[in-house]
Every structure is written in C-alpha cells, then in structure tokens.
Amino acid sequence: MTKIKTEKLFGTNAGKIWKALNKKGEKTAAALEKETKLKITEVHSSLGWLAREGKISADKTKTGTIFSLL
C-alpha cells in the first residue's frame, strides 16, 4: 500500500469540483459525481474542503442541496 498525502488527494479532488462548478454553475452532489467521475464520498469530502476555504455556498431546495461558487 502506498501512502498518499491527504492534502494533495483532497485538494486535487476539490479542484475538480471547483472547475465543474465554475464551468457550469450550480449543481447537486449527484450531478458533480456524474460530471467529475468521483465517488460520492470524494465529492462530499471535496465540498467540505471548499466550504472550509469559503469558496462555495449551499442552498437547500425541495429536491435537495444545490452547491455553487461564491
């Protein structure tokens, strides 16, 4: 087993999520999973990373949560 620096792993995935939101606007976690081809757990950890950095917002709707860049 090879250890990966978590900062690099999560930062790289967060970059994919940021690019997807920047390119096409707001999306649900499921839509981000499909577009980025990341696992849903990777999407959620990446959204957490971006939220910690103050780069995204989340809006609750009747159908789910929509994420967008600030």
Q: Which domains does the chain have, with CATH numbers?
A: 6-69 (1.10.10.10)
Q: Based on the number of CB atoms within 10 Å of its own CB, is 63 exposed (0-12), middle (13-18) or buried (19 or more)?
A: exposed
Supply the pTM of this predicted model. Answer: 0.87
Q: Among 31, 69, 37, which residue's Cα sits nearest to residue 51?
A: 69
Instruction: For residue 69, give every residue at least 6 positions away whose Cβ sits within 8 Å of its Cβ, in sequence order, or none.
Output: 18, 21, 22, 55, 56, 57
* Tokens 């009747």 found at: 62
pLDDT digits (tens, 9 = 90+) for 10-55: 889 999 999 999 998 999 999 999 999 999 999 999 999 999 999 9
